[in-house]
Chain A
Amino acid sequence: GENVEQHPSTLSVQEGDSAVIKCTYSDSASNYFPWYKQELGKGPQLIIDIRSNVGEKKDQRIAVTLNKTAKHFSLHITETQPEDSAVYFCAASRTGTASKLTFGTGTRLQVTL
């Protein structure tokens, strides 16, 4: 089955700096890679996703890149703000009949003033 590794487990940045979170996956058939933000006591919130036919996707201050050959993908957050502080999870799945998500172990991002 799919295995997703995520690094780092914690990340502290100053407000206004950039943050990068990296994930690798094992199943070459995976073709859908979402990122979720989870705040304390809440369910995961989808913030951006990328499909395997695309190398990069951007949405305002967040971007995701995908390297299919190396089987890794990354989340980039620019101009970080205190409200970006949360736990971020990457995930991978095969779209189709069984599109269950396999999640990484999470990155706790702390944006300090």
Chain B
Amino acid sequence: DTGVSQDPRHKITKRGQNVTFRCDPISEHNRLYWYRQTLGQGPEFLTYFQNEAQLEKSRLLSDRFSAERPKGSFSTLEIQRTEQGDSAMYLCASSLEGGPYEQYFGPGTRLTVT
């Protein structure tokens, strides 16, 4: 399967714990995006990378969130000191710089903070 993959698919954590999610994009895609989706809503943009450079961060991304893409391939999203409000589906997508502009999404990581 050459699509976007995410790991883990589900994560249950206690409030105050740190969690880290991984995304592997489609191999030739140099753009990688993180979105967050809460129940009944559309995905909301969090941040994106072009190769290893993080080019934009949403105001939704508090200082407890950090994302990396160290070698321009896979990416990690870490949430420190989780809060109940962080419970959501975290989606990763990838695309090619310069077009075509289609973003392909992974299956997501569902985070539940208890």
Which A residues have a C-beta under 8 Å from some C-beta of B? Answer: 4, 6, 32, 34, 36, 41-46, 49, 89, 91, 93, 95, 97-106
Contact = CB atoms under 8 A, between A and B. Distances in A.
Contacts of B108: 42-43
7 contacts: A41-B107, A43-B105, A93-B101, A99-B31, A100-B48, A103-B43, A105-B42
B: interface residue count bin: 20 to 34
Nearest to B89: A43
Given A89-B43, A95-B99, A100-B33, A44 B48 contact: no
A100 B43 CA distance: 11
Interface in B59-110: 91, 95, 99, 101-108
B31 A102 contact: no
A102 B45 contact: yes
Nearest to A43: B105
A89 B42 contact: yes
B107 A100 contact: no
Contact of B101 (A4, A32, A89): A32
A93 B40 CA distance: 21
Contacts of B99: 95
B91 A103 contact: no
Contacts of B4: 43
Contacts of B31: 99
Given A100-B33, A100-B45, A46 B40 contact: no
Contacts of B42: 4, 6, 89, 91, 103-106
Contact of A101 (B41, B43, B56): B43
